Each structure stands twice: as C-alpha cells, then as structure tokens.
Homo-oligomer: A and B are copies of this chain.
Amino acid sequence: MSAVPNAPAARRLTVWAPAGLGEVRPGDDLAALVGDLLDGEGLAEGDVVVVTSKVVSKAEGRVVMAVDREQAITDETVRVVATRRREGLAPLRIVENRLGLVMAAAGVDASNTPEGTVLLLPADPDASARALRDALRARFGIERLGVVVTDTAGRAWRDALVDVAVGAAGVAVVDDLRGGVDAHGRPLSVTVTAVVDEIASASELVRGKAAGRPVAVVRGVGRLVPAGWTPDDGGARLLVRPSADDLFREGSAEAYARGYDDAAAGRERKG
C-alpha cells in the first residue's frame, strides 16, 4: 500500500454534483434517474457515485406518516445510547438503530420530506448500493465502479455534523496501511483509514444540504475501486463498531447512573 500514493489516480481527486435530479418518489427507478443525471459527463472506470440515503429511502418508499415522529424513532431503535432533555421538545435520543449506526433520532429524518411525514433510512443501505452499482455498471458499460450511500451524523467530542457512508459497494471501505511502512521504514501499525467515510464527506462539500444535488461523482480514487469486487468484500456495515468493543457504547451520565444504581441495590460491579 505504501506505493499506492505514487499511482497517478491517487494524486488528484475531482468531485462534481450535477443539478436536476428532481423530487424522488416511492417506486421511482433511482438507478434510471441517477443514470439520466450522469449521462452528460458519463462515468469512467474507477469512479465512485455517491448518493444520499435520503433519495434512496424515498425511492424505496421508506416514508412514514409522522403523526408520531417519536414513535417512528422508537421503532427504529435497537438500544438507547444517551438522551438529553430539551426545552419544549421531546428529549434528544442518541440510539443504536437497526443498522448498528449510533445516531440522533435513530437516523429518522424530517427535513426535505413532505409535511407530516418522516423518512427512515434504507432497510439495507449496502444492498441499495449494490443494486445501484449493478444498474449503473450495465448502463455505462464499466466494470470498476463504486457506489456510496451517505447520511449526516453527529460525533462525540466534536460539534457539528459530517457525512458518513451508511452503504457501500464496489469500493474499499478502509485503506488498510498496516502492511505498509512510513518514510523511515517503520511499520504504519495502526493506520486504518475509513476511506468511504472520507468519500462521503468530500462529496458533501459539493452536494451541500439544501442544494437539490443528492448525487455526486468522485473521480481519482480508482486505487480504492478494485476489479472483481464481490459483495463478500463487504460494505459500509464493516465500519460499525460492535457496541461490546466500544469504549463509548453508553452515554457518560447513563453509565454513571447504572453504576450508582447497581451499588445502591447491592448488585455486584459489572466489568
């Protein structure tokens, strides 16, 4: 991997986001809509097409009536990670959702959706990415194509949001340099880069949020788009850290309270 950056493809990255996809509706053929949108500049071997989870969800009919948005969040929740009271609002809930993603409101989205509805994340964003990839490869007659499905997420420790990959196909999820060496010949022992998250973030800079540009093309990361990719190579789900391995699996206040209650009730201390 240490030679990879010398590949021309690693030296220059271009991201563009064409306007004009228009409103996506349940049952729409998203691959056809995205293909039409990209016909102008076309696609090349090694490109990565980035699509927001929002339009994927709309095409897949993941819109639900929001008569009870809180119930929709509850239904998407596997595990409550942390909560915070909010003045005049339902408490903010940061939860692990069906996809293993830790997100505020379980990733249930009420912006850019018709009044009275909310949008759930795709049922299986990696599968959505694979289907979109298959259709676009066939349409544009290319073999090496990546597809990334993005969503916007908060982080611990840092304010504001960044886009991350919730689905991926045809592209390396991580750029694993653990086999590589640094300029001093010292092993790069712990550097595993979440390149699909970086691709998601790069595309957000061009797409914007209120832009009506939910689709972007990233050209110049062909080293991350292997020939002969198969679903066994894995998607964005690989980046989800199992909660058992996560030092931050539970909010600080929630963990403190659980410890306090265990001791107060005379229960034994948990690991």
Name the distance in Å between A65's Cβ and chain B's nearest Cβ. Answer: 15
Name the distance in Å between A146's Cβ and chain B's nearest Cβ. Answer: 12
The residue that A182 contacts in the complex, of B15, B175, B210, B247, with Cβ under 8 A, is: B210
Give the residues in chain B near A197, CB-CB below 8 Å: 158, 160, 162, 201
- Inter-chain contact B194/A161, CB cutoff 8 Å: yes
Chain B proximity mask over A3-31: 1 for CB below 8 Å, otherwise 0: 01110001111111111000100000000
- Inter-chain contact B15/A206, CB cutoff 8 Å: no
- Inter-chain contact A204/B210, CB cutoff 8 Å: no
Counting CB contacts under 8 A, is A32 at the interface? no
Name the distance in Å between A92's Cβ and chain B's nearest Cβ. Answer: 9
Chain B proximity mask over A188-207: 1 for CB below 8 Å, otherwise 0: 11011111011101101111
Question: Given that A82-B247, A111-B189, A207-B5 are known contacts, is A174 also in contact with B198, CB under 8 Å in the complex?
Answer: no
Tell me the number of copies of this protein. Answer: 2
Give the residues in chain B near A18, CB-CB below 8 Å: 11
Give the residues in chain B near A5, CB-CB below 8 Å: 17, 207-208, 210-213
Within 8 A of B (CB), among A217-271: 220-221, 238-241, 246-264, 269-271
Counting CB contacts under 8 A, is A139 at the interface? no
Q: Number of A interface residues at 8 Å Cβ cutoff, please give it.
A: 97
Which of A6, A205, A262 gathers the greatest number of chain B CB atoms within 10 Å? A205
Q: Complex Cα distance A255/B270, Å? A: 12
Give the residues in chain B near A101, CB-CB below 8 Å: 157
Subset of 28 A-B contacts with CB under 8 Å: A1-B210, A4-B211, A5-B211, A5-B213, A11-B16, A13-B16, A13-B205, A15-B220, A82-B247, A94-B247, A113-B184, A157-B248, A158-B194, A159-B194, A159-B239, A159-B241, A161-B193, A177-B210, A205-B221, A248-B252, A252-B252, A256-B256, A257-B259, A259-B259, A260-B260, A260-B269, A263-B263, A263-B264
Chain A residues close to B by CB (< 8 Å): 1-2, 4-6, 10-19, 23, 82, 84, 94, 101-102, 111-115, 152, 155-164, 173-175, 177, 180-184, 186, 188-189, 191-195, 197-199, 201-202, 204-213, 220-221, 238-241, 246-264, 269-271
